[in-house]
Amino acid sequence: MFNLDGKVALITGATGGIGMSIAKQMKSSGAKLILSGTRQEVLSKLELELGDDVKTIVTNLSDKNDVMSLANEAEKTFGSIDILINNAGITADGLLLRMKDEDWDKVIDINLSSSMRLTRQVIRGMIKRKYGRIIFISSIVGYTGNAGQSNYSASKSALSGLTKSIAAEVASRGITCNLIAPGFISTPMTDKLSEDQKNNIIKNIPIDRLGKPSDISSGCLYLCSNEASFVTGTTLHINGGMSMI
């Protein structure tokens, strides 16, 4: 079940907690990997840990030329891209009244526009081969909103419409496109929270814990598998019941 033998996956944001978990779980399921991120040292360490059939590429997703180069180099590495995981994302939090245009622009550009550009390029090969799995990683706040994160919430909410539109366009070509919306996941980002802050969050989670990166990567593995071949244009909410959408 959920066997990815012979499949090639391109994962952005691979140096973060969720991206790293997705990479490890996909590799253990037989996939070949192209991992993109901004930190060469972390990428090199991950490549060494995962072993053969892993290629890492340092990418600045805010640079359109870098996005194009990533798509082209990834395609050449193993001859195809069967799975694309758009996981990279940034935050630049602040109340709307004080938010600078550049903080709005860079969050929208990385979280939404760069994912669109990469998908637009990668999808060409998928259409030719009549097979593909595309996943965007959104967030619970893309559906609930969050004070101080209007830019981040907007970027993650917009991914829902993008996902559904792509799914409708390419379903007949054997390509599925889905979205995963994580809740609060235990990563280096949440590690910065105090115990009181974490406890206040957990009070609102019926399952009574923060999520683990593996909770997200397991959902990702399912959506990439043959078992999910009839699932497209949908959002998988993995949030412990914090928001039952």
Specify whether 152 is catalytic: yes
Can you tell me the distance from the alpha carbon of 243 to that of 51, in angstroms, rounded to the nearest whole number? 38
**Which of 21, 120, 112, 101 is closest to 61 using CA atoms?**
112
End-to-end distance of the chain based on CA atoms, in angstroms?
28
Which has the closest alpha carbon to 140: 239, 38, 214, 47?
A: 239
Tokens coding 229:
């071949």
Tokens 């991992």, residue?
35
Alpha carbon distances (Å) from 56 to 20, 68, 135, 136: 12, 15, 19, 20
**What does the radius of gyration of the chain's CA atoms come to, in whole angstroms?**
17
Task: Tell me if 29 sits within 8 A of 226, measured CB to CB.
Answer: no
How many Å apart are CA 149 and CA 127, to the nearest integer? 36
Which residues are marked as active site? 152
